[in-house]
Chains A and B, each alone.
Chain A
Amino acid sequence: MSKHASPTLPAPVLWTRGDMDRFFETLRKEGYQPVGPTLRDGAIVYDTLSSTRDLPVGWGDEQEPGAYRLRKRGDEALFGYVVGPQSWKQYLFPPRRKLWSADRAAGGLEFKPSAEAPPKYAFIGVRGCELHALQVQDKAFLEGPYADPYYRAVREGSLVVAVNCGTSAATCFCASMGTGPKVERGFDLALTELLDGGQRFVVEAGSARGAKFVDELSPQAAAPEDLAEAARVVERTAATLRRKVEPGGLRELLARNLEHPRWDEVASRCQTCANCTLVCPTCFCSTVEDVSDLTGEHAERWRRWDSCFTFDHSYLHGGAVRASAMSRYRQWLTHKFGTWHDQFGVSGCVGCGRCISWCPVGIDVTEELAAIRANDLGKDGEHAHP
């Protein structure tokens, strides 16, 4: 990520598939570890990539509430799918990370911070919703009174290569959250894959760091008709979006409906499995584990992902504050769409739809929010007691 976009960024260029391969080589030469979408266990996940052949070439995905399936597209598209169960947060906010170790020594306890520094990643194929998710997590991890040093090191060292979506899933609702499908800002490079009339990529630099690759790799400027086609790709994708959230006033709507009967109704379906929070690209809850060796003289503190759906998340002496599934579902949804605004000035939802696809019972946040809006108890209350 580079925050200093130069006013003299190069004009968009056109890359071939061969240029894409040379791009991967250049990334490695520059010391970046390319990570991005690849096929594993019947899903598109994020892992280290050595060339474009590691991308899910020719694969697409079909998603519905509680359902995710891969399918062959019948072409050689490199980015012909949307988002899978993983997100970039696994690199910035690793699922498990040692924070420090402690040893009993003659002078008392000795604490040593974890020295492990992250690699320089090149994030390949970051979608519009995911770019916004990075910016949402920046607020949690970097902009409070205390910053997460590991997150900062990854964020500042990484190259963000965004992709404009050429397809959507039935679970996507980025347009209504104002996060996509077009990537607007916060990238070093943005690609649009064109398939009609031969595979090629329109490449736009969003920062000086990204511009360097454009200058080095391809002098071929994108023709006006290529740029027009790239614009049409995103417009066509936007037109296919079926789901939406009405974002206006969600903060207030949820704040005045904490006792809504819909919470009990959704809790009767919710398994409190935590899938939604683990696949969510903005959820940032973590817990700590303290481990010691058999001598009891050496101990370590590890941080790992946690979820507000677990019983222990709200444990206080005497029991969990949020003992019922109702209260835990309410915490997730009211935080994501409501109190996130109070805490960070933005919505915690970017409309990627992961929580809908990966919910084992197909709970759909867009449907739950619509149900509460359709029967707004707070408003009724205002009418009853003016």
Chain B
Amino acid sequence: MPRPAADLRPAPLAAEPMLPRAFRVAARRRETHDVFTLELEPADAPGEAFAFEPGQFNMLYVLGAGEVPISISGDPTRPGRLMHTVRAVGGVTRLLEGLKKGDSLGVRGPYGAPWPVLDAEGRDVVVVAGGIGLAPLRPLICQVLARRDRFGRVSIVFGTRSPADILLAKDLERWRSKFDVDVLLTVDHAPPGWRGHVGVVTALLPRAAFDPANARAFVCGPEVMMRFTVQELAHRGLPAASVHVTMERNMKCAIGLCGHCQYGPEFVCKDGPVFRFDRIERIFGVREL
């Protein structure tokens, strides 16, 4: 059946929302044996700053291999190169690990709901990170410290597996050297010679000073770590509405269309990844949801 001429004039499609933009690796550095940081700039506009809010993420694409959602770890108060701190755990992240200065990759974003930093102004701030969970919290910490006078007491509680797994070590050192920030560090296990704390992150929480009636907690780490952290914070009197956590689910599109990141009624990509805890408290403990 021959098609009439009118059939050959379909309307052009609107812009494809899942189309990445070409970026290049401007710098890379190793954080630990399996964690690395990439600094990226647009291939067609090397000096262009990447605007984002703390807690947001990008989809990073390696040619032919696939895309992964990775949170942004840069300092939002000093706009510049896009920064991602990544743990090599899967096919695409291992390929990202192998990228060298000048190599190309695709980037789209930023996506997702940010940490509500402004909401914490005038209050004590408790940051609790587990492992690579420190990376999405780094922009928040940078923003709080850039306007330090606007906040009450600030505690950063960081737990990781071993001393060899301490990422962003220079940052931690810098934050620890400040008199108005309390940095509490613990490892799950340590070789002889480690003089720091050994134990789970919740064991350090009692040392974080905050007024439960006027504080905000920001928590990122494995689900089990967040579960015990939230319990401990509640035990200290901090209500669920004063706690923010980040959730992680499989993600293909990052723009609310593919259905993969559903977590009960929530789409982690657009309703999260940062959630005020009382919003998800009812489903947080349900297994395999």
Chain A interfacial positions (CB closer than 8 Å to B): 28-33, 50, 99-100, 102, 104, 107-111, 113-115, 117-120, 140-141, 144-150, 152-153, 156-157, 255, 258-259, 284-288, 290-292, 296, 299, 301, 303, 306, 308, 312-317, 321-324, 326-327, 331, 335, 338-339, 342-343
The reply on B255 being an interface residue by CB < 8 A is yes
Residue of A nearest to B65 (CB): A290
The reply on B21 being an interface residue by CB < 8 A is yes
Which residues of A have CB within 8 Å of B22? 107-111
- Min CB distance A31 to B, Å, is 3
A100 and B16 in contact, given A33-B7, A291-B64 (Cβ under 8 angstroms): yes
**Interface pair B262/A117, CB less than 8 Å apart:** no
**Interface pair B64/A258, CB less than 8 Å apart:** no
**Interface pair A99/B18, CB less than 8 Å apart:** yes
**Interface pair B7/A120, CB less than 8 Å apart:** yes
- Min CB distance B273 to A, Å, is 13
User: Considering the chains assembled together, what is the distance between the CA atoms of A259 and B286 in angstroms?
Assistant: 8
**Interface pair B249/A314, CB less than 8 Å apart:** yes
Task: Name the residue among B7, B15, B61, B250 with the largest chain A CB count within 10 angstroms.
Answer: B250
**Interface pair A108/B43, CB less than 8 Å apart:** yes
24 contacts between A and B (CB under 8 A): A102-B61, A104-B63, A107-B44, A108-B23, A109-B20, A111-B21, A111-B22, A117-B11, A144-B257, A145-B256, A153-B10, A153-B11, A156-B11, A284-B259, A286-B253, A286-B258, A290-B66, A292-B63, A314-B260, A322-B289, A323-B288, A335-B262, A338-B265, A339-B264
Which of A146, A148, A314 lies in contact with B250, CB distance below 8 A?
A: A314
| Interface flags, B227-258, vs A, CB<8A=1, else 0 | 00000000000000000000011101101111
Residue of A nearest to B222 (CB): A318
Residue of B nearest to A298 (CB): B64
A111 and B11 in contact, given A104-B63, A104-B104, A145-B255 (Cβ under 8 angstroms): no
Which residues of B have CB within 8 Å of A303? 258
**Interface pair B260/A285, CB less than 8 Å apart:** yes
**Interface pair A288/B252, CB less than 8 Å apart:** yes
Known contacts A31-B5, A100-B16; 17 additional CB pairs below 8 A are A30-B6, A31-B4, A33-B7, A110-B22, A111-B106, A119-B10, A144-B257, A153-B11, A255-B264, A285-B260, A287-B252, A287-B258, A308-B259, A315-B250, A322-B288, A323-B288, A342-B265
Which residues of B have CB within 8 Å of A100? 16, 18-19
Residues of B within 8 A of A (CB-CB), count: 57
**Interface pair B288/A145, CB less than 8 Å apart:** no
The reply on B1 being an interface residue by CB < 8 A is yes
Residue of B nearest to A292 (CB): B64
Which residues of B have CB within 8 Å of A33? 3, 7
User: Considering the chains assembled together, what is the distance between the CA atoms of A192 and B121 in angstroms?
Assistant: 64
**Interface pair A299/B255, CB less than 8 Å apart:** no
**Interface pair A321/B249, CB less than 8 Å apart:** yes
Which of B15, B250, B256 lies in contact with A149, CB distance below 8 A?
A: B15
User: Considering the chains assembled together, what is the distance between the CA atoms of A323 and B287 in angstroms?
Assistant: 10
Which residues of A have CB within 8 Å of B10? 117-120, 153, 157
Q: Which 4 A-B pairs have the closest CB atoms?
A: A31-B6, A292-B64, A342-B265, A327-B288
| Interface flags, B1-44, vs A, CB<8A=1, else 0 | 10111110111111111111111100000000000000000011
- Min CB distance B255 to A, Å, is 4
Which residues of B have CB within 8 Å of A321? 249-250, 288-289
A146 and B286 in contact, given A153-B10, A343-B265 (Cβ under 8 angstroms): no
**Interface pair B4/A29, CB less than 8 Å apart:** yes
**Interface pair A149/B17, CB less than 8 Å apart:** yes
Chain B interfacial positions (CB closer than 8 Å to A): 1, 3-7, 9-24, 43-44, 61, 63-67, 89-90, 104-106, 248-250, 252-253, 255-260, 262, 264-265, 267, 270, 282-283, 286-289
**Interface pair B89/A317, CB less than 8 Å apart:** yes
Residue of B nearest to A291 (CB): B64
Which of A146, A152, A338 lies in contact with B256, CB distance below 8 A?
A: A146
User: Considering the chains assembled together, what is the distance between the CA atoms of A125 and B11 in angstroms?
Assistant: 25
**Interface pair A149/B258, CB less than 8 Å apart:** no
- Min CB distance A353 to B, Å, is 22
Which of A108, A120, A314, A324 lies in contact with B24, CB distance below 8 A?
A: A108
Residue of B nearest to A327 (CB): B288
A286 and B252 in contact, given A119-B10, A147-B17, A313-B260 (Cβ under 8 angstroms): yes
**Interface pair A316/B6, CB less than 8 Å apart:** no
Which residues of B have CB within 8 Å of A299? 63-64
A306 and B288 in contact, given A145-B270, A301-B18 (Cβ under 8 angstroms): no
**Interface pair A144/B256, CB less than 8 Å apart:** yes
Which residues of A have CB within 8 Å of B43? 107-109
**Interface pair B283/A258, CB less than 8 Å apart:** yes
User: Considering the chains assembled together, what is the distance between the CA atoms of A112 and B46 in angstroms?
Assistant: 21
User: Considering the chains assembled together, what is the distance between the CA atoms of A314 and B252 in angstroms?
Assistant: 11
User: Considering the chains assembled together, what is the distance between the CA atoms of A150 and B14 in angstroms?
Assistant: 8
A284 and B257 in contact, given A99-B18, A111-B22, A339-B264 (Cβ under 8 angstroms): yes
Residue of B nearest to A102 (CB): B63
A113 and B19 in contact, given A29-B4, A107-B44 (Cβ under 8 angstroms): yes
Which residues of A have CB within 8 Å of B12? 115, 117
Which of B9, B64, B258 lies in contact with A285, CB distance below 8 A?
A: B258
- Min CB distance B289 to A, Å, is 7
**Interface pair A306/B15, CB less than 8 Å apart:** no
**Interface pair B18/A152, CB less than 8 Å apart:** no
Which residues of B have CB within 8 Å of A111? 19-22, 106
